[in-house]
């Protein structure tokens, strides 16, 4: 029961941060959700699929948590909770440090700044990393094959969003500044020397 309470609390913190940021930006006239808007081809497919799957996965997670009858070893469940907590913290830090530059998806018309300090000095994509870690942690804690399949699918589309949409956009928007940043900081975690 304790794992259910901890995980649901962490999920609540994550989604409160996510939606509070969107609402805050909307009040400033910033459209945060750019997934699939004005896009075509592969980019539209990746963004729309990602958007739908990130709405479906929490439902599968919630069902998996509430009706969990698995027999995962206690150590694996503890590790899962820790990974989930690290993911939530990573996401919250990344959104806070991005300030009003944060978006879900990209919009070429929006003028934003390239953030390279704080958590962005050790990960080029800490918000995505936060999602990934939270999802993996929940999977470890409440493993079942439906959740495993759905989590793998979403992680794949997060990666496709980064390599096929985000990185291309950042290269166009920031050019040499992004190339230098990319040469120093890894896509998910770590610094290059």
132: containing domain: 2-184
**Residue 14 belongs to some domain of the structure:** yes
In sequence order, what are the residues at sequence separation of 6 or more whose Cβ sits closer than 8 angstroms to the Cβ of residue 176? Answer: none
Assess if residue 161 is contained within a domain.
Answer: yes
Percent of the chain scoring above 90 in pLDDT: 57
What separation in angstroms does the CA of 24 have from each of 94, 118, 164? Answer: 16, 22, 28
C-alpha distance from residue 6 to each of 138, 141, 166, 178 (Å): 10, 11, 32, 38
Strand, helix or coil at 104?
A: strand
What 57-64 contacts at long range (C-beta under 8 Å, 24+ apart), as own/partner pairs, is: 57/135, 57/150, 57/151, 57/154, 58/11, 58/15, 60/146, 60/147, 60/150, 61/11, 61/135, 61/138, 61/142, 61/147, 62/11, 64/138, 64/142, 64/144, 64/146, 64/147
Average pLDDT over residues 70-76: 85
Query: In whole angstroms, how far apart are CA 185 and each of 42, 47, 91, 124?
Result: 26, 24, 17, 6
Across the range 146-150, mean pLDDT stands at 95
Residue 86 three-state SS = helix
Q: Is 111 exposed, middle or buried (0-12, 13-18, 19+ CB in 10 A)?
A: exposed
Cβ contact 96:56 at 8 Å: no
Q: pTM for the complete prediction?
A: 0.88
CATH number for position 13: 1.20.120.1630
Phi, then psi, of 23 in degrees rounded to 5: -65, -45
Look at residue 193 and tell me if it is in a domain: no
Q: Chain-wide mean pLDDT for the chain? A: 87
User: Considering the domain boundaries, does residue 62 fall inside one?
Assistant: yes
pLDDT tens digits along 76-125: 999 999 999 999 999 999 998 887 666 565 556 667 778 888 999 999 99
Whether 24 maps to a domain, the answer reads: yes
Q: How confident is the model at residue 9 (pLDDT cuts 50, 70, 90)?
A: very high
Residue 192 lies in a domain: no
Q: Please state the domain count of the chain.
A: 1
Residue 190 lies in a domain: no
| pLDDT band for position 38 (cuts 50, 70, 90) | low
**What percent of the chain is predicted at pLDDT more than 70?**
89
Q: 68: which 2 tokens?
A: 């969990």
């Amino acid at each position: 029961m304790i794992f259910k309470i901890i995980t649901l609390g962490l999920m609540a913190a994550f989604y409160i941060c996510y939606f509070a940021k969107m609402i805050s930006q909307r009040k400033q006239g910033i459209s945060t959700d750019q997934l699939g808007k004005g896009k075509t081809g592969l980019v539209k497919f990746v963004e729309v699929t990602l958007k739908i799957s990130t709405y479906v996965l929490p439902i599968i997670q919630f069902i998996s948590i509430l009706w969990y009858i698995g027999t995962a070893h206690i150590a694996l469940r503890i590790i899962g909770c820790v990974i989930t907590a690290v993911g939530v913290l990573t996401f919250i830090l990344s959104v806070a440090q991005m300030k009003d530059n944060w978006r879900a998806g990209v919009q070429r018309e929006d003028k934003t700044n390239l953030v390279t300090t704080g958590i962005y000095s050790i990960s080029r994509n800490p918000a995505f990393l936060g999602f990934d870690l939270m999802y993996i942690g929940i999977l470890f804690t409440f493993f079942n094959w439906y959740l495993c399949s759905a989590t793998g699918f979403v992680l794949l589309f997060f990666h496709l969003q980064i390599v096929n949409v985000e990185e291309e956009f950042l290269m166009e928007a920031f050019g040499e500044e992004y190339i230098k940043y990319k040469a120093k900081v890894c896509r998910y975690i770590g610094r290059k020397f």
